[in-house]
Amino acid sequence: MTSSETIVIGGGHNGLVAAAALAKAGRKVLVLEAGSEVGGAARTEEFAPGFRVSSVAHLLNRLHPDVVKALDLDKHGLQFARADFMPSVALSKDGPLVLHGAYGEVLTGTNSSEQSAWKELRAQLLRYAGILKPFLSRRPPDLAGMSLRETASLGQTALALKKLGKEDMRDFLRVLLMNVADLLDEQLADIRLKGLLAFDATLGSNLGPRSPTSLLGLYYRLAGETGGAAGAQIFPQGGMGAVAAAIRAAAEKAGVTIRTSTPVAKIIVEKGRAVGVALHTGEVLRARTIVSAINPATTFLDLVGPREIDTGFVRKVKNIRMKGDAAKLNLALDRPPQFTGVDAAGHKGRLVIAPSPDHVERAFNPSKYGEFSPEPVMEITLPSLADPSLAPSGACVLSAVVQYAPYALKEGWDAGKPKFLKAIMAQLEAYAPGIGKSVVHAELLTPADIETRYRMPGGHWHHGELQADQMLISRPVSGWSGYDTPLEGLFLASAGSHPGGGVSGAPGLNAARRIIAMKG
């Protein structure tokens, strides 16, 4: 039995961020990672001989600036230049439409009236997302007992709202819980642009563009920033694993010890206090503070166990909705594909097949009934074009996030997976003729696969559906949204906590700040 001051369970990016931040505050920190390497779903892995790809998350668009700053990530190899900002290409039979720069600072491929409508809408979206942005980097307000500081920062939000002006403030409140399709119909005409935005708003959630509150997903995306530009997205050189590696380097420099291939079997609780962990080997590690940077449901139902927590809390944890609805496709291609009408710069961008909001909605419909989309929507990247080291010379890697792929597929994923892959390939073939013949190896990760491989229950990359009822003070469960838990000495730090998923590091950093503030 050994004793460490702080144990972080899970070496995903949030776990590493929390560990690094705690170590920088002078704590002795030990990270326990179940997998053979750290990074969680933000890794770069070989999926076919010579072909490497970002495991689940494949684009960086919300790594929080506070995380970059607190961990000096720029000194650990993470630097973002404006030139790296990837365009978003809305693929369509009518020719592509391209959002350049940071989420469409320039729009090409459509007429001038649409361009000016977009300019206005983009500014509005960023303004409104900006109101919500400060929430990302702090604890959700604690309704039971707000500190002066919390009250003050909430007051600042109210002030920011007021600063919008009367009309804008009313409009912000009007549209906040709207569905994205209706908002887009108010302001835009081009269905390609609307399709892209509808896709982005619903990416990673169990919502269609016409589902109430779907606009929040777009705000969540636009509250993120890269290199100081809201909505900007980049492809990190070396894949997402490079981001995890930079955070790991920062953590280790701060003195964090990392043990991989060390799954935790149990969080040991004595008299209402988490006092250590037991490993699968039977080894017991004791610590003053335990930070669980893995799924909240796994933390409480499996590691702590329902016996050590109250029934009402168990109910809440069990009710966290986290059935993933997105699949990840990795293709090893013997040559780069050619998407019709897309130029070379576009191929290095994010290619989105979501030709209209109707198309996205139709793709969503079957998922409600446990069926995958016959004509799925997807975002595609060709990372080896930007980083040739990811594929053998002349060959190409295609990485795509594909919707909708319900976790609980009625026919079961064993039977459904080959059919779904066929449907995806048919879609790809329509936009990049000949791509099918260039496939050397195809790997499709359904939510069921993501669940097993990355220990994400439900295969949900947010560790809990990111919708209004599971955000802010309700994330992961109401009453316990502030990273502390009913067990003394146990804290949460995964994407399952506020603000949510994506490679942001925000939950990890917020958790570390909370622990330091509580002297926990």
Partner 1 sequence: MAQAIRKKPLSKTVNAAVSARIVAQDHFRTLRLGTPFQPRIDALAKTQDWYNWAGYRAPNSLWNEELEYFAIRSQAAVFDISPMTKYRIEGPDAEAFLDRVTLRDVAKLRPGRVHYTAWCDDEGFVLDDGTLFRLSPTRFRLCSQERHLPWLLDSAIGFDVSVAEETEAVAGLALQGPTSFAVLRDAGFAGVEKLKIFDLADLPHDGGTVGISRTGFTGDLGYELFVPADRALSLWDRLMTAGQLRGIRAIGYTALNRARLEAGLIVANADFTTAEHAIRADRLRLPDEIGLGFMIDLQKGHFNGRRAILEARAKRKLRHVLVGLEIDGNIPAEHAIVYHKKSQEVGLVSAAMWSPMAKRNIAIASLARPYGDTMVEDLWVEIYAMRELQHQKLMKRAKVVARPFIKLDRRTANPPADF
Residues that bind partner 1 (CB under 8 A): 269, 271-272, 301, 305-315, 318, 486
Q: By CB neighbour count within 10 A (0-12 exposed, 13-18 middle, 19+ buried), where does 282 fall? A: exposed
Tokens of 286: 């004791």
Nearest CA to 86 out of 381, 311, 449 is that of: 381
Q: Which is nearer to partner 1, 134 or 486 (CB)?
A: 486
Find out whether 123 and 168 touch, Cβ atoms under 8 Å.
Answer: no
CB atoms within 10 A of CB 276: 21
The H or E element spanning position 251 is helix 240-253
Measured from the CB of residue 311, what is the shortest distance to partner 1 in angstroms?
Answer: 4
Q: Which is nearer to partner 1, 307 or 519 (CB)?
A: 307
Measured from the CB of residue 297, what is the shortest distance to partner 1 in angstroms?
Answer: 12
Find out whether 102 and 61 touch, Cβ atoms under 8 Å.
Answer: no
Helix (H, G, I), strand (E, B) or coil at 5: strand
CB atoms within 10 A of CB 36: 7
Q: Which is nearer to partner 1, 298 or 399 (CB)?
A: 298
Residues in a beta bridge with 380? 351, 400
Measured from the CB of residue 315, what is the shortest distance to partner 1 in angstroms?
Answer: 5
DSSP string, 157-179: HHHHHHHT-HHHHHHHHHHTT--
Q: Which is nearer to partner 1, 112 or 311 (CB)?
A: 311
CA distances from 309 to 156, 187, 269, 486 (A): 36, 49, 10, 7
Q: Which is nearer to partner 1, 315 or 335 (CB)?
A: 315
Q: Which is nearer to partner 1, 143 or 173 (CB)?
A: 143
Q: Which is nearer to partner 1, 229 or 473 (CB)?
A: 473
Measured from the CB of residue 486, what is the shortest distance to partner 1 in angstroms?
Answer: 6
Q: Which is nearer to partner 1, 451 or 484 (CB)?
A: 484
Measured from the CB of residue 308, what is the shortest distance to partner 1 in angstroms?
Answer: 5
Measured from the CB of residue 267, what is the shortest distance to partner 1 in angstroms?
Answer: 13
Tokens of 227: 């290199």
Helices (H) and strands (E) in the chain, counts: 17, 19
DSSP β-ladder status, 106-108 and 97-100: antiparallel
| Cα Rg, the chain, nearest whole Å | 22
Q: Which is nearer to partner 1, 267 or 512 (CB)?
A: 267
Measured from the CB of residue 242, what is the shortest distance to partner 1 in angstroms?
Answer: 40
Measured from the CB of residue 318, what is the shortest distance to partner 1 in angstroms?
Answer: 7
Q: Which is nearer to partner 1, 85 or 491 (CB)?
A: 491
Measured from the CB of residue 145, what is the shortest distance to partner 1 in angstroms?
Answer: 11
CB atoms within 10 A of CB 486: 15
Find out whether 372 and 404 touch, Cβ atoms under 8 Å.
Answer: yes
Task: Please tell me the distance from the alpha carbon of residue 382 to that of residue 398, in angstroms, as a whole number.
Answer: 5
Task: Please tell me the distance from the alpha carbon of residue 116 to that of residue 188, in angstroms, as a whole number.
Answer: 10
Nearest CA to 383 out of 187, 262, 217, 240 is that of: 240
Tokens of 369: 């009934």
Nearest 5 degrees, angle CA 158-CA 163-CA 167?
100
Measured from the CB of residue 458, what is the shortest distance to partner 1 in angstroms?
Answer: 18
Q: Which is nearer to partner 1, 50 or 486 (CB)?
A: 486
DSSP β-ladder status, 2-9 and 29-32: parallel
Measured from the CB of residue 314, what is the shortest distance to partner 1 in angstroms?
Answer: 6
CB atoms within 10 A of CB 245: 23
Measured from the CB of residue 480, what is the shortest distance to partner 1 in angstroms?
Answer: 10
Q: Which is nearer to partner 1, 108 or 478 (CB)?
A: 478
> Tokens 């409508």 map to which residue?
117
Nearest 5 degrees, angle CA 433-CA 114-CA 178?
95
Longest dimension (CA), the chain: 69
φ, ψ at 414 (rounded to 5°): -60, -45
Measured from the CB of residue 478, what is the shortest distance to partner 1 in angstroms?
Answer: 11
Task: Please tell me the distance from the alpha carbon of residue 109 to that of residue 98, in angstroms, as a whole number.
Answer: 6
Q: Which is nearer to partner 1, 431 or 480 (CB)?
A: 480
